[in-house]
Amino acid sequence: MVAATRRVTRGGVPKPGTAAAPPPASRDPGSPRRSGRRPRVLIVEPRTDLRERIARALATRAAVKGVADLAAAVAARRWSPELLILSRRALRGLPGSAAASLTARVPARKTIVLAGRGAHAGEADLPGELAGADAIVTEPVRLAELLTLVARLWELALLEQEAERLGAENRRLAEQMEERAARLQSRLRDRNQELARANQELKASLGENATRLRELERLNGQLTIQATIDPLTELYNRREFNRLLHAEWARFTRYKRPFSLILLDIDRFKRVNDEHGHECGDAVLRGLGTLLRTNKRRQDFACRFGGEEFVLVLPDTPLAAAFMVAETLRRRVARHVFRHKDVRLQVHISSGVAGVVEHAPRDESELIKFADHGMYHAKQLGRNRTAIADPVDPERVLRADGDPPEGAAPAAEAPAG
């Protein structure tokens, strides 16, 4: 009779659950179960006839070697048996510890114990090592059932061997993965350190660049002021006036948005320089620049045209409205007292006004000429006046207003200053 793992059953066949049917062969071509290799079976049986019967029965399925006792089995261990069929009779006369020690020295993967007669014969008094046998077969030994048991145990041994191989492979792969992970972590740490250093350098560089950028912006601002602002009056200079006029002309050409010009000149400014000096004249120019800058509308542009001449660009302003703006500025200048050291004096301005819609000039230059004609007429009418030249005949005055100094009379020719 046969039992699996210390269980003895009648009929020589393990009960359901005690020895499973061999699973299908592995698909791995290199696995032991697909190699076709036969197991090496060591039979330890004192009875020669039974030993030879078992050997002949297994000869076609396994490599078989038979010995009579455990001492001979230990001597055959170099043969590396994989299955051990051990008769209980081979243990007679040996102390339990000695039998267990000898049995442990035989390196078999699976062990089948041939017990004595009876359903539980010999099971209770098996040595400690044999108590863990993989199967117990009671006499009389049925060879067919023993062959089936050997086949199943060999299949189980192959599965365990394959599991060990796969486990070793898994461990190897795990070690490789750990090594690779360690290398990657090391490289990642190094890379992070490099990036941290690069970030610090970048921050320092950005800080330097920001400082340089601020300095460049400051210098550019100064250059812009120098390129566009008149240093004496702090108004836009002639170059910037040309740019602003060109932009307004382009806007008028594309969108038909009206704009006007006011060209003004300080009356008898040469007398100020001659009587009070050029420093006083500069103070008057500076003061007039301040008046124009603070009294113009927000959307207007005040510029120094040259010498004592100034010009205002008035976007979105028709000619009539521009004339009113010019008159307001003329009156405020006339009321203002200019100061330089102990000198107190008042000056007047003469203004000419031109509108891009009303005068219909061919270009920006012609618009300036219309405003200049208006300023010329204001001078002719006695100064301290605002005038508009006729769009059809610029030599004629379309409109004029103002308060000429007492005793002043219109002149046939333009007076100086």
For residue range 196-218, what is the model confidence (pLDDT) as tens digits? 999 999 999 999 999 989 998 88
pLDDT at 379: 96
Query: The dihedral of CA 180, 182, 187, 191: what is its sign?
Result: positive
- CATH 3.40.50.2300 range(s) for the chain read 2-169
Q: What does the pLDDT look like over 326-335, one tens digit per residue? A: 999 999 999 9
Our separate counts of H helices and E strands in the chain read: 10, 14
pLDDT at 417: 57
Which pairs from 14-18 meet CB under 8 Å and 24+ separation? 14/135, 14/149
pLDDT in tens, the chain (417 residues): 444 444 443 334 343 334 444 444 444 444 444 457 899 999 999 999 999 999 999 999 999 999 988 888 888 878 889 899 999 888 887 776 666 777 778 888 888 999 877 544 444 455 555 667 889 898 888 999 999 999 999 999 899 889 999 999 999 999 999 999 999 999 999 999 999 999 999 999 999 999 989 998 888 888 888 889 999 999 999 999 999 999 999 999 999 999 999 999 999 999 999 999 999 999 999 999 999 999 998 999 999 999 999 999 999 999 999 999 999 999 999 999 999 999 999 999 999 999 999 999 999 999 999 999 999 999 999 999 999 999 999 899 999 987 655 444 443 334 445
Dihedral of the alpha carbons of 109, 115, 118, 124, in degrees to the nearest 10: -80
Contact in structure between 241 and 305 (CB atoms under 8 Å) = yes
Is 81:112 a contact under the CB 8 Å cutoff?
A: no
Classified by CATH at the fold level, domain 238-402 comes out as: Alpha-Beta Plaits (3.30.70)
Portions of the chain given CATH number 3.30.70.270 = 238-402
Provide the 3-class DSSP secondary structure of residue 192. helix
pLDDT of residue 125: 54
> What is the model's pLDDT at position 121?
44
CATH architecture of 2-169: 3-Layer(aba) Sandwich (3.40)
Long-range contacts of 20-23 (CB under 8 A, 24+ apart): 21/152, 22/151, 22/152, 22/155, 22/156, 23/155, 23/159
pLDDT score of 405: 53
Paired with 304 in beta bridges are 310
pLDDT in the model for residue 1 = 42
Q: What ranges in 278-318 are assigned the alpha helix state H?
A: 278-295
Give 114's strand partners.
87, 137
Contact assessment for residue 38 and residue 64, using Cβ atoms and an 8 Å cutoff: no
Which pairs from 71-79 meet CB under 8 Å and 24+ separation? 71/102, 72/44, 73/42, 73/44, 73/102, 73/106, 74/102, 74/105, 74/106, 76/42, 76/106, 77/105, 77/106, 77/107, 79/40, 79/42
Tokens of 382: 């006695």
CA–CA gap between residue 11 and residue 15 (Å, rounded): 10
Helix ranges (DSSP H) in 229-318: 238-255, 269-276, 278-295
Provide the 8-state DSSP code for 371: H
pLDDT at 31: 43
Q: What would the DSSP string read from start to end of 79-105?
A: G--SEEEEEGGGGTTS-HHHHHHHHHT
